[in-house]
Chain A
Amino acid sequence: MNISVADVEKVARLARLELSEEEKSLYAGQMAAILGYVEKLKELNTDGILPTSHAVPMENAFREDAVSPSIGIEKALANAPDRVESFYRVPKVIE
């Protein structure tokens, strides 16, 4: 398994992470080792096997569509890094 620095940069961009040059080469090596290890799953024939996304057999979990109290604007915004009135403020999106 070979993972290049360019591969790492592409994945980092998708994950919204910015890596230093040292991190890029470190992760390239480590990801190659880990992904090389997981290659062993290819030894198994899984034709006709259904994928499991949830271990407990469950039907849809329905509930009444009823209004219940929520925490309110002040509490919801209490952890905001930056706010204006009842809004979160972020840097400009469009140049």
Chain B
Amino acid sequence: MEATKAMLARIEAVEPQIGSFITVTHGQALADAEAADRRIASGEMTFLTGIPLAIKDIFLTEGIRTTCGSRMLDNFIPPYSATSWEKLHSHGAVLLGKLNQDEFAMGSSNESSAFGVCRNPWDRTCIPGGSSGGSAAAVAARQATATLGTDTGGSIRQPASHCGCVGLKPTYGRVSRYGVIAYASSLDQVGPLTRDVTDSAIMLGALAGHDPKDSTSVATPVPDYCAALTGTVKGLRIGLPKEYFIAGLDPDVQKTMDAAIETYRRLDAEFVDISLPHTDYAVATYYLIATAEASSNLARYDGVRFGHRAEDAAGLLDMYTRSRSQGFGAEVKRRIMLGTYALSSGYYDAYYVKAQKVRTLIMQDFMRAFGDVDVILTPVAPTPAFKIGEKSDDPLQMYLSDIFTIPVNLAGTCAMSVPAGFSAAGLPIGLQLIGKPFDEETILRAAHAFEQATEWHTRKAVI
């Protein structure tokens, strides 16, 4: 209860400067905290009992408004909850609120949210990253102990990197997507954003596992992720893909990667030069597959059963069209248009099927590389956080900033972002550790060993 009250006070104090939340669930938080106190008194606690968390507004919460950052769902009160949140709640976790995000998780800067600007706690003129911008900013601004996000093309790892926290995208199928509002169903995955790697391992342990309500979740046994944090990476084979260390890399990012590699060398890890030859095609592949799936997933918003409905429609078709046009923002419309185009008659094979074939090549790149190495180390993003408004007029430039995170979603494997340093201007920079499918243990171990050897995760944004 004390932890929850302190966190609610903190949210109230700094929220006007950050904008991490769409809804603060004050009453729910106090009720959850009271239940947690009773549980603790009866001795039935776990690591998560009474821990104040906040979750991206993409997760359905029964009886609590869930907007997905869109005017379309301004008034939507879900009739059931997402499995991932139910799992955390069943441990006695406390819900502080629902976090800001890009509309329908489409964006890399949180600027497409219909519910106001979210700012980077390290520099309030910069974006926090996206689409889980609120999830990263809330951890960095110490408005929640940990948060939940979703990652379709980097939406957990990129904001975690920009805000200096730990962000984990598990393997596709590791965590249930039931009750998570769909963007691109073959790429979407749920994961935690935390202050350190141990918290990430605890959260993943609670989230992972098969869910009968999500037939794409897998029954692979859930290991004890905390037991994986041995502190040693001696002999670990780390791959450095040449396609990720390119001339155009921001000098601060390059310097941070060089220092991280040196740290791992001191810890007796081995480095192997590798190649992921189809990296340069990943962004193009992603923006065809993701938009195609989105155009299909977002067809459900028609004004009939829930969400926004236009007034005074002339007929059913007019109601669909006007409800959708009024409810969706510019980026969502743009992606629905692109996806509809890619799936339309005459273009389906040239765009959509072609992209699915290149996706196969990208997956094969990773599988081949993982024959030689245990993990792959890369930057998370080519630059530190950019300024609010800097890329909002040029969607293609915005899409290209996801170049290092997108291939992982296409390959379906796991990866995490770990704080690894700061730019000259004082903005956090993360390193990305990519693991084999369902081998979250090894990236957590590698991340933890790095964390033990450095102090980046202990730095706090001044707010």
Q: Which residues of A does B touch, CB under 8 Å?
A: 8, 11-12, 14-19, 23, 27, 30-31, 33-35, 37-38, 40-42, 44, 46, 49-56, 58, 61, 63, 71, 75-76, 78-82, 88, 90-93, 95
With the chains together, A44 CA to B319 CA distance in Å? 43
With the chains together, A8 CA to B334 CA distance in Å? 10
With the chains together, A16 CA to B344 CA distance in Å? 14
Beyond A16-B320, A34-B396, A44-B358, list 13 extra A-B contacts (CB 8 Å). A15-B324, A16-B321, A16-B324, A27-B337, A38-B355, A40-B284, A46-B360, A52-B359, A54-B186, A55-B172, A78-B79, A82-B309, A92-B315
B173 at the interface (CB under 8 A from A): yes
Given known A-B contacts A38-B351, A41-B354, A79-B306, A61 and B215 have beta carbons under 8 A apart: yes
Q: Are A11 and B356 in contact (CB under 8 A)?
A: no
Q: Are B358 and A41 in contact (CB under 8 A)?
A: yes
Nearest A residue to B210 via CB reads A61
CB distance from B256 to the nearest CB of A (A): 28
Subset of 19 A-B contacts with CB under 8 Å: A15-B295, A17-B324, A18-B321, A18-B322, A18-B325, A19-B325, A37-B283, A41-B281, A41-B285, A41-B354, A44-B358, A49-B360, A51-B359, A53-B186, A61-B216, A80-B306, A81-B309, A90-B304, A91-B319
Q: Are B341 and A31 in contact (CB under 8 A)?
A: yes
Q: Chain B residues near A12 (CB, 8 Å)?
A: 337
Q: Which residues of B does A touch, CB under 8 Å?
A: 75-77, 79-80, 171-173, 186, 212, 215-216, 218, 278, 280-281, 283-285, 287-288, 295, 299, 302-309, 313-322, 324-325, 328, 330, 333-334, 336-338, 340-341, 344, 351, 353-361, 363, 395-396, 399, 410-413, 437
Nearest A residue to B174 via CB reads A56
With the chains together, A13 CA to B348 CA distance in Å? 17
Q: Chain B residues near A52 (CB, 8 Å)?
A: 356-357, 359-360, 363
Q: Which of B283, B328, B333, B337 has the most CB of A within 10 A?
A: B337
Q: Are A46 and B287 in contact (CB under 8 A)?
A: no
Nearest B residue to A61 via CB reads B215
Given known A-B contacts A56-B216, A56-B218, A76-B79, A8 and B322 have beta carbons under 8 A apart: no
